[in-house]
Structure 1
Amino acid sequence: MTTLPTYEVVESAVRLAGRAPSLHNSQPWRWVFDGYQLQLFSARERMLPATDTLGRQMIISCGIALGHLRTALAAAGWRIFLARFPDPNRGDHLAAIRFTPAPIVTDAERDRAAAITQRHTDRLPLAPPNGWDEFEIVLRSTFDPADGVLDVLPEDKRPQLARASELTASLRRYDSSYQHELRWWTGHVVADTGVPAETLISPEERVGVPVGRTFPAADIGPRRPGAVDQATILVLSTGTDQHMDLLRCGEVLSTVLLECTLAGYATCPLTHLTEIPRSRAVVATLTGRKQLPQALIRVGTAPESADRPTPTPRLPLADILELTGPGAEARTLP
C-alpha cells in the first residue's frame, strides 16, 4: 500500500486549500512539500498591517486554508497528523503535516471537498437561512468546541451590532493608512490578489446590510432591490489571542463555511468588527462571554435567481507551493 501521497495529490489539495477566504483575498500562506511532509508557513509579505495590525487575521486565514487542505486530502483518501507551530524559533512555521492512507472515503467527505469550489462570499442582503435550528445542531457536531466557541446572535442584538459596525467605519474614516490599504486591495485585482469590483456592493445595496464592512462603493446597479439583510449572524470566539488559538479558530471557520455551503446557505465572513478594540468589546458583550471574538459570519439564503459570481482569482500554485523532494526538479507548477 502507498504510504505517501504523490506530488499530484498534494498539488491538487494545496490548490483547493488556496480557495480559502482571506482578508481582502491577500492569501497569506505558503506551503513546502519535501515528498514526505507538508509544511505550512505564513506569508508575512501578504499581511495587511494597517488593517490587521497584530497579524491575527493572517493566522486565522492560514487556519482556514489548513482546514480546507484537510478536507481536500480526506476526499483524496488521506488522513493527516498535524503538529501546529512545530518550531518554537519560527513563528511563521504554522504546521507540519504527515499523512496516512484512509481506509475509506465517504460521500460526506467528497461533498465537503466539492463545497470548497462552490463557496463564495456574498456581501449582498440575504434572506433567513431556512431550517437553521435543525442545521445548527448538525453544525455544532462537526468541530471541537475547544477549538472555537460559536454563538448565534439573537435578532434583538442586531441594532447594537449595526451601531458597532458604524462606529468602526467612523473610527477608520480618517485613518489614511487603513484607507490606502483598503483601496489598494479592493475594487480590482493585482497579480491574482485583491477583491474584484463585481463582488463589492453599491451605496444603495450597503443600506440593506448595516453590519458589513464599508468598502469603496461599487458602480453597480441594484441586484436585490429593496432587500434588507435577514441573515443569521454567528460569532466565532477563542479564549486568547495566542497564535495556537487563532490557527485552530481558522480551522473551525473552514468547517463552518463549508458545512453552510453544503446546506445550501450563502455566507459572508466579517472581521472588521474585531479589528478595533471598542467594536470588538461590543461584540463580546453581545455574546455574553469572556472569550475574544475573532470573526463573524452572516449565514442566509440567496435568491434562486442570483447569478453565481465569477470565482475570485487566486495566486498560481507556483506562488504558494514549493516542492523540494526527490524528483521535484522535474515538475513544473502552473
Structure 2
Amino acid sequence: MTAARPDFRVLEDAIEVACHAPSVHNSQPWRWIREGGGLGLHLDTDRLVATDHAARQALLSCGAVLDHLRVAIAAAGWAVHVDRFPNPDDPLHLASVGFSPAPEVTDAARARAEAILRRRTDRLPFGPPPAWERWETVLPNAVDGTVAHLDVVDDADRPKLAEASQLSESLRLYDSAYHAELSWWTGEVTVTDGIPDSSLVSAPESDRVDIGRLFPVTRHRSERRMTVPQDFSKVLVLSTLSDSRRDVLACGETLSALLLELTVAGLSTCTLTHLTEVRVSRDIIAALVRRDFPQVLIRVGVAPPLEPAPGPTPRRHVADVLELRL
C-alpha cells in the first residue's frame, strides 16, 4: 500500500535541502510548520533585513525556498499542492503545502534536486555563456507569463545597466543603516547565516565586475579568476505583473526554477537585487526591459572549469526552521 503522505524523516530531509535556496544576505527569512499531513510556510519576521522595508526581498526568498521544496520532495517521489496565502487573517502564512505520491521519479527531477546543492551565488567575473543564441530564445518561453516576465538585457544596454548599479551604490554612500546592516550580515562569525568572507570579492576582483553590490572590502591571499579579465555574463531580469505580495512570492518561485535549470546546464549565476532596492535605479531597469515591476536580476555565464567553485554559504539547522505541531 502506498503511503498517503511522506513520513517525517523524508520531510525533514527535503526541508534541509530546500533551505539552500538563495535569500537576501543569506538571511533565510522562512519558517516551516508541520501540522497534520501538510506543511505551512511562514515569513519569519525575526529574520527580516531591516532595510528591506516592504519585505519584498524576503518574499522573493520565501518563494525560492518554496520551489526548492517542490524540487527536493519530487526527487523523493512526492508531488506538492500549494495554496498561497491561505489565511487572510495571517499575512505571515505564505503557503500551505499538501502532498500526494508521484507516479515516478524522473531523471530530470533528480538532476534539479542535485543542482540545489551545487548552485552558488558566484560574485566573480564570468566567461560568456556558450550557445547563448539558443538560450536567449528558449529561456523566456520557460517562464509562465501569467506569473512573471523574463527579459534578457541587450549587450548594447550594458553600460546603462552598469550606470544604474553604480547609481544605486552612490545613493547609499552615506546611508549608515544600510552599511551597518551589510557589515552585520558579512561579519566574521557566519556559522548559520550571512555571507562568509570566501563568498565575497576583493576590491580588484570587484573592479572586473561592472554590475554588482558593493560589500565591505574583503582580502584574499591572491586575486582569483585572473583568466577572466572582465565580466562577460549575460543579464536576465525577472519582473512581475504587480508589486503585490502574491506576485512577488511567485516571482521567487520562478527565480528558483530558473536558477536550477541554469545550474543543471552547467552555467554559473549571481542574483542581484541592489538595483531594484532604490527607486531611481529600479526605474532605469524598468525602462530598459519595458516592464513596470522588475524584481531581480541574474548574471549568467561560465566559470573556468579548472578553478574551484565558491564554497557553500552557511545554513541554519533544520531544527531551527521546522516546527512540529500536534
Aligned to 1:111: 111
- In 2, Cα distance between the equivalents of 1:189 and 1:91? 32
Deviation at 1:36, TM superposition (A): 0.3
Is 1:199–2:194 an aligned residue pair? no
Within a 5 Å distance, the mapping from 1:192-231 to structure 2 comes to 192-220=192-220, 221-225=222-226, 227-231=229-233
Deviation at 1:190, TM superposition (A): 3.5
Aligned to 1:161: 161
Determine helix, strand or coil for the equivalent of 1:322: strand
Aligned to 1:244: 246
Determine helix, strand or coil for the equivalent of 1:236: strand
TM-score calculated relative to the size of structure 2: 0.96
- In 1, Cα distance between the equivalents of 2:194 and 2:319? 18
Aligned length: 323
- In 2, Cα distance between the equivalents of 1:40 and 1:82? 10
Aligned to 2:101: 101
Residue by residue, what CA displacement relative to the aligned partner does 1:117-166 show, whole Å, maximum 9, x if unpaired?
Answer: 01001100001111222234444454422111000000011101111111
The answer to whether the Cα contact below 8 Å between 1:187 and 1:200 also exists between their aligned partners in 2 is no
**Which amino acid in structure 2 is aligned with residue 192 of structure 1?**
T
Q: Which runs of 5+ in 2 are unaligned?
A: none
Determine helix, strand or coil for the equivalent of 2:171: helix
Within a 5 Å distance, the mapping from 1:2-151 to structure 2 comes to 2-50=3-51, 52-151=52-151
Deviation at 1:260, TM superposition (A): 0.4
Deviation at 1:317, TM superposition (A): 0.6
- In 1, Cα distance between the equivalents of 2:267 and 2:60? 22
- In 1, Cα distance between the equivalents of 2:301 and 2:285? 20
> Aligned in 2, Cα 1:35/1:89: closer, same or farther, shift over 3 Å?
closer
Aligned to 1:331: none
Q: Which runs of 5+ in 1 are unaligned?
A: 326-334
- In 2, Cα distance between the equivalents of 1:78 and 1:166? 45
Deviation at 1:306, TM superposition (A): 1.6
Aligned to 1:271: 273
TM-score calculated relative to the size of structure 1: 0.94
Deviation at 1:171, TM superposition (A): 0.8
What percent identity do the matched residue pairs reach? 49
The answer to whether the Cα contact below 8 Å between 1:139 and 1:259 also exists between their aligned partners in 2 is no
- In 2, Cα distance between the equivalents of 1:114 and 1:196? 23
Residue by residue, what CA displacement relative to the aligned partner does 1:163-183 show, whole Å, maximum 9, x if unpaired?
Answer: 111111111110000010010
- In 1, Cα distance between the equivalents of 2:5 and 2:138? 32
Aligned to 1:282: 284
- In 1, Cα distance between the equivalents of 2:256 and 2:189? 24
**Which amino acid in structure 2 is aligned with residue 28 of structure 1?**
P
User: Post-superposition, which runs of at least 4 consecutive aligned residues in structure 1 deviate over 4 A?
Assistant: none
**Which amino acid in structure 1 is aligned with residue 259 of structure 2?**
L
Aligned to 1:330: none
Determine helix, strand or coil for the equivalent of 1:31: strand
Deviation at 1:232, TM superposition (A): 0.5
- In 1, Cα distance between the equivalents of 2:188 and 2:311? 14
Residue by residue, what CA displacement relative to the aligned partner does 1:7-50 show, whole Å, maximum 9, x if unpaired?
Answer: 01111111111000101100000001124010000111111122
- In 2, Cα distance between the equivalents of 1:138 and 1:77? 28
Residue by residue, what CA displacement relative to the aligned partner does 1:201-236 show, whole Å, maximum 9, x if unpaired?
Answer: 111111111110011111112102262001010000
The answer to whether the Cα contact below 8 Å between 1:187 and 1:218 also exists between their aligned partners in 2 is no
- In 1, Cα distance between the equivalents of 2:35 and 2:177? 39
